[in-house]
Structure 1
Amino acid sequence: MTASTYEDQEQGLQIDIGTIWRMVKRRFWFFVIPAVLISALALVVAKALPPVYSSNGTILIEQPNVPPNLIDTTVTSLAAERIEIIRRRFIATDNLISLIRQHDLYPERRAQLPITQVAAAMRGDISVSLIEQRRGRGSFTVAFTVGFRYGNGAKAKVIADELVSWYLSENARTRQERAQETADFLRQETGAAERNVKRLEEEIATVQSEYAGSLPEERDRNQAQLDQLHRSLRDINFRLEALQDERTALVARLESLPLSGGGAGGSSEAATVAQMLERLRNDRVSLSTTFTERHPDIVQIDRQIAQLEERLAELPPAPDPSAAGAFVSSASSRAEIQRVLAELDREVGATQRSREAVEADIQAVEVNLDRTALISEEYQAMVREYRNAVQDFNVLRRKVLEAEMGASLELNQKSERFTLVEAPQAPSGPESPNRPLVALGGIVVALGLGLASMLAMEFVDSRIRSARKLEQLIGVPPLVLIPEITTRREKARTWFVRGVIICAVVAACGASLWYVHTRVTPLDLLLLKIERQVQSRVGALGF
């Protein structure tokens, strides 16, 4: 007969104190033995757990002594980021292995585990916690605490000192290296920019030497010079026409003179000079309406007028101006006209040579303007590139100066820096384990397991032990109740079975603990992890 045969699904749950009490009496040992054994084991474990000491130091993040608006540092990483980077470098496996061997840490674990696993376990004993302050919606790190947990208080302090020294030196070294690398990089870029500027300067100098006088910046000057040359050419042509007209008039006058003449030579020569002087004065009046007093033609006419006036002053005056025409054909008048014609011919030749020179200059300036049009676009592009290169070079020079000042700031430790405000101290007592909590937790677990084993044995047993249960099953009360009769053999067998069960449970527990300790993870590490998890959960709940 099984328990499922007598199970009555229609019966509600009824609590019978007497039945519970009888069950407790029957299964008492199934409650007591696990509870006592596990409680004892919990007490032994709480007593045997190795102590863990913790040594901590606090490092303050000080702000720069020099205001950033005067000299700004080139190290712009956040403090939290640098703290994490330094921590990662410290907990590198090679560094931890060196510390383990140097200070003879974890000797028991090193005897059982590879050194890399011991370093991994040490990594969990190193703690770094940030102290942050809120500002508006954001927050910034003002300080941080570093510490180390170990079974020996003195060695915990030594490793904590190593960790603090590592943070202080590594932060200063890292900042100085970054600032110096930035300055070196900017120097290299500045050197490249300077070489580029010199290259462009040489190219521009070559173009300027090859196209001298035809450069785009000389276009306005060349155009102004061309306009001036055209005006000069126009004036020369006008002057040349005036001289040719004057020569034509003198030739006609010379041809009209008789071949011989006599008497009153001086008076006729004075009349001729007076007529020439009058004509030159009329020419000057006509030229003064077009040119200024400093124009070469005006100056030439003034010089000729002065010469004629001097010659006229030396000659005897003509007695009658109306009679001067009678002596024009004299030999002296013909000689004077021929002399004037000779001077006009020389002046015409000089004027023609001046016109040829001006025309040559005009042609040269026009050639320069044509060459300017050919090289203008390429030359302007080269000049723009040169100006941009110079501007970039000047910007880089300013940045190099700022980077060098920032590197000097880091070298003298006047920028943001780590300062030790609380050095690690030798712990006065162990931080963990919390032995009362471990013992109390073990006792609670032991009581729970004892109760669970008692209930499990009761539910597994399918025998009918009460008249009420029988009456519930068959629907008729029993006529007679016969008490249970237990023989000595049955009692001995019962105790034997109980002893075997207890021994099996203890052996199973011991074998499980041994397997976990040797094959999975040492029990002290496992208990430390469990304790940390419990403390973190309790801290998260606010207890």
Structure 2
Amino acid sequence: MNHHYIQLIRRWVDVAFRRKTTILFFALVGLFVGLGYYLSEPKFYRSTALLSYEQQRINPTQMSPDVVARIRETINTVTHIVLSRSSLERIIHDLNLRDETSKSSMEDEVEWLRQRVIVEPSRQGDTFSINHLGTDPVLVEKVTNALADRFIEENMKYREERAAETSQYTQDELAMAKEILDVREAEMRDYKLRHFDEMPEQREGNLARLNSLQEQYQNRQNSIQDLERTRVLIQEQINLRRQILTGAVQAQTGQVTAVEAPTPVETDQQRLARLEQTLQSLLGRYTEQHPEIRQLRREIALLQENIGPDAGAETGTAAGRGSRASFDQELFDLEIQMKDVVLNIKKLNEERAELQKSIDRYESWIEAVPQREAEWSALTREYAELRRHYDELVAQNLQASAALNLERKQKGSQFKIEDRARIPEKPIKPIFSITMALALFAGLGLGILLAVGKELIDLSFRSPDEVESELGVEVVCSIPYVPLPNETRKQRLKQVAVGCALFLGFVGWVVMVVMFWQRGQIIL
């Protein structure tokens, strides 16, 4: 270390030893001043109540006021409610905190109480503490517990009000949405009833039904054509049979006239051959069950019976032939068939007309689908959104009602007092040890400052180095100061007196501390 700094340190240490009386005196004065300050200052006590935010055990819904992310917001809101003017006035009246002799107004009392209430939430946000400062430890404890109770009461009231407001709001919105939705559904219902068969969702069914009707119409048309051909064929057979019967009757009665002789008459053998050729031609196009083929086979069988080996039966009696000519079973059957065919044709024509009406009706329904689809889209454009909004409101209303019931039964989330406030035993300010330490340091600092000031004012030389540095001459020798015995004795007496005075002052300070401590004015 540099020699200069060493000399400087030695100098200030020497100053401290030479001025120690001044330093110790001001240190003692600082202790007495600190003691006086401690005794004169009012002592503030702090009482603390620990509360937690207990979440409801039933699973919360979206409409419930219990949202973990809003716990801190809830605490802040309830804090403002508890520290409101009306709430603090109620606490002041209940605990009789206001001094009737005091000239301060109620507003000053409320503000004084509000400034001494501190709410400290934890970092997690699910617990917080209520702190109250005051000069009376008993009142501090009572006010802190009263504030904790107010937190619980106001939180329940606040949550119930929120749940009630939410429930009422959802009910009003639901009623409004239901009214609008009912009007729109009534319009849609009336429109669908008027144009049910023309709606787009009926198009596939209408097309399928139209195709079926068209097939039925075509089947009826084909059946009518077949029956028309059958009717023509039966009519020919009836005419042929009548010609045969007429020829047979004329041959027996001899009434064939000369005019008819030139007209060639087809014999039964010729007719049989012609019918067989016709049968072979029809077999190439129809099956055995076709009416024309069955009719031709019956005529061929009848002709074969007439020209068979029993042809000698022609010599039978005239009476028998006359009765066969008067009633012919085959002609009767043909006429019956003709009537059945005509009736079937008439029935099929009626069915075909009904089918045509149905086809026209279904075609008109299908043609109207694009127009109905556009009208239906315009009618239901906002219905889906209205329905979705209505369903959301129904769910929200149920959730809000459940949340309101939870709050009314006090089953929802609420504040719980984990640790009630107790009567504080020690003040938080002033603290005796800290006050005395600050006073001691202040006295020492003031004493050192005065000692340094005196040293700077004193212009005497204390060492040869100071003379050399100040005058710029070399010191050859130095003569030490040798006090006389009388001076030595006076100096010692002075030191003893000062030491005794300082010691007695310190003892007096200790005695005062013990005395005030026993009286309870000093709390260690």
**TM-score of the aligned structures, taking structure 2 as reference length:** 0.63
Q: Aligned residue for 1:42?
A: 34
Give 3-state SS (helix, strand or coil) of 2:160's partner. Answer: helix
1:412 partner letter: K
Contact 2:19 2:451 in 1 (8 A): no
Letter in 2 for 1:14: Q
What's the secondary structure of 2:143's corresponding residue? helix
Amino acid at match of 1:128: V
Deviation at 1:366, TM superposition (A): 0.7
Please tell me whether the aligned partners of residues 189 and 396 of structure 1 are also in contact (alpha carbons under 8 angstroms).
yes
Give yes or no for the alignment of 1:375 onto 2:372: yes
1:169 and 2:153 aligned: yes
The whole-number CA distance in structure 2 between the counterparts of 1:209 and 1:371 is 15
- In structure 2, the residue matched to 1:147 is 131
Match status 1:463 vs 2:463: no
* Structure 1 contact 259–330 (Cα < 8 Å) conserved: no
Find 2:350's aligned residue among 348, 353, 358. Answer: 353
Aligned partners of 2:55 and 2:66 also within 8 Å: no
Higher Cα Rg, which structure: 2
Structure 1 window deviating more from structure 2 (363-372 vs 158-167): it is: 158-167
CA distance in structure 2 between the aligned counterparts of 1:288 and 1:197, rounded to whole angstroms: 69
In structure 1, how many angstroms separate the alpha carbons of the residues matched to 2:60 and 2:418?
Answer: 28
Structure 1 residue corresponding to 2:397, chosen from 400, 414, 431: 400
Residue type at the aligned position of 1:150: G
Larger CA deviation: 213-222 vs 196-205: 196-205
Change (3 A) 1:23 1:146: closer
- Say if 2:49 and 2:129, in contact at 8 Å, map to a contact too: yes
**Does the residue aligned with 2:410 lie in a helix, a strand or coil?**
coil
- Match of 1:51, SS? coil
1:365 partnered with 2:362? yes
- Residue in structure 2 matched with residue 503 of structure 1 by the alignment: none
Mapped contact 1:52–1:432 kept (Cα < 8 A): yes
**Aligned position for 1:178:** 162
1:227-266 equivalence runs, <5 A = 227-252=211-236, 257=242, 261=246
Q: Aligned residue for 1:56?
A: 48
Q: Answer whether contact 2:141 2:423 (CA < 8 A) is retained.
A: yes
| Equivalent position of 2:171 in the other structure | 187
1:221 counterpart (191, 205, 211)? 205
Using the alignment, how far apart are the partners of 1:391 and 1:229 within structure 2? 42
Q: How big is the shift at 1:259?
A: 12
Which of 34, 58, 67 aligns to 1:76? It is 67
Amino acid at match of 1:435: F
Specify the SS of the correspondent of 1:373. Answer: helix
Shift of 1:449: 1.7
Distance 1:22 1:363 in 2: 130
Q: How does 1:429-508 map to 2 (within 5 A)?
A: 430-459=427-456, 461=457, 463-466=459-462, 468=464, 469-474=466-471, 475-477=473-475
Q: Quick one: which amino acid aligns to residue 218 of structure 1? A: Q
Whole-Å separation in 2 of the counterparts to 1:289 and 1:385: 64
Q: 1:19 to 1:400 in 2, by over 3 A?
A: closer
* Paired residues for 1:531-542 under 5 Å: none
Counterpart selection for 1:211 from 177, 195, 203: 195
Question: Does the C-alpha gap of structure 1 residues 52 and 70 become closer, same or farther in structure 2, counting only changes over 3 Å?
Answer: closer
* Residues 298-324 of structure 1, C-alpha deviations (whole Å, 9 max, x = no match): 9xx9xxx9xxx9xxxxxxx99954599
Query: Within 2, Cα distance between the matches of 1:337 and 1:23?
Result: 161
Number of the residue aligned with 1:14: 7
Question: Matched residue pairs, number?
Answer: 424
Q: Deviations over 1:374-402 (max 9, x none)?
A: 33366478679756755664554344334
* Whole-Å separation in 2 of the counterparts to 1:289 and 1:337: 17
Q: Give the CA deviation at 1:166.
A: 1.1
In 2, the alpha carbon distance for the partners of 1:173 and 1:97 equals 18
Counterparts in 2 of 1:288 and 1:193: CA distance versus 1, 3 Å: farther
3-state SS, counterpart of residue 368 of structure 2 = helix
SS at match of 2:417: strand
Structure 1 residue 168 displacement after superposition = 1.0
Shift of 1:331: 8.4
**Secondary structure of the corresponding residue to residue 159 of structure 1:** helix
Q: Is the 8 A contact 2:159 2:407 kept in 1?
A: yes
- TM-superposition CA deviations, 1:182-236 (whole Å, max 9, x none): 4334434443443454234223212212213112232232122212211111122
State the alpha-carbon separation in 1 of the partners of residues 27 and 354 from structure 2: 130
Percent identical pairs in the alignment equals 16
Q: Give yes or no for contact 1:71–1:405 (8 Å, CA) kept in 2.
A: no
Deviations 1:328-368 (A, max 9, x none): x9787799977876665555444333322211211110111
Task: Provide the C-alpha distance between the structure 2 equivalents of 1:89 and 1:63, rounded to a whole number of angstroms.
Answer: 21
Give, in angstroms, the shift of residue 55 of structure 1: 3.0
- 2:119 aligns with 128
Deviation at 1:470, TM superposition (A): 2.8
| Contact preservation (8 Å) 1:75, 1:178 | no
Q: Equivalents in 2 of 1:428, 1:12: separation in Å?
A: 52
Are residues 349 and 107 of structure 1, via their aligned partners in 2, closer, same or farther at CA, if it must alter by over 3 Å? Answer: same
CA change 1:21–1:206 in 2 (3 A) is: same
Distance (whole Å) between structure 2 residues aligned to residue 355 and residue 17 of structure 1: 139
**Higher relative CO (CA 8 A, sep ≥ 6), structure 1 or 2?**
2
Amino acid at match of 1:125: R
- Asked whether the 8 Å contact 1:74–1:403 carries over to 2, the reply is no
Classify 1:478/1:226 alpha carbon distance in 2 versus 1 (closer, same or farther; 3 Å): same
> Does structure 1 conserve the Cα–Cα contact (< 8 Å) formed by 2:89 and 2:110?
yes
Shift of 1:50: 0.8
What code does the residue aligned with 1:369 have? I
Q: 5+ residue gaps in structure 2? A: 251-274, 312-320, 482-524
- Return the alpha-carbon distance in structure 2 between the equivalents of residues 158 and 150 of structure 1: 11
**Matched residues in 2 for 1:374 and 1:156: separation?**
82
RMSD after superposition: 5.1
Mapped partners of 1:408, 1:352: distance in 2: 74
Q: Is the 8 A contact 1:73 1:409 kept in 2?
A: no
Q: CA deviation at 1:150?
A: 0.6
Q: Deviations over 1:48-89 (max 9, x none)?
A: 1112233333334445344x3999955214544433332233
